[in-house]
Amino acid sequence: MRIRGNKISIQYKRTTISTGYPNTPIGWKMANEWWSLKLKELQEISDGTRPLEDSIKNIFNKFLDYKRKVTKITKKTEQYYLTGFNAIITEPNLVLSEANIKFQIENYVRNTTVSANSVNIYLRAIAGFLNWASSDGKNYIPQKDYTKFFRQKETKEIKSAFSQSEYEA
- Work out the angle between the directed axes of helices 116-133 and 56-69 (0-180°, nearest 10): 80
- Tell me the mean pLDDT per 10 residues along the chain, length 169: 82 76 85 81 68 77 88 91 92 84 88 86 90 77 76 73 81
Question: Would you kindly state where each structural domain of the chain is located, as residue ranges?
Answer: 2-47, 56-150
**Cα 169 from Cα 167, distance rounded (Å):** 5
Whole-number pLDDT of residue 75: 92
Per DSSP, the three-state class of 169 is coil
Q: In terms of C-beta distances under 8 Å and separation of at least 24 residues, what long-range contacts does 17-26 make, across chains too? A: 20/136
Helix/strand/coil percent split, the chain, to 5: 55, 10, 35
Q: What number of residues does the chain have?
A: 169
Whole-number pLDDT of residue 82: 93
Rounded to two decimals, the pTM is: 0.60
Whole-number pLDDT of residue 76: 94
Whole-number pLDDT of residue 44: 73
Centre a 10 Å sphere on the Cβ of residue 16 and count the other Cβ atoms it contains: 10
Whole-number pLDDT of residue 83: 93
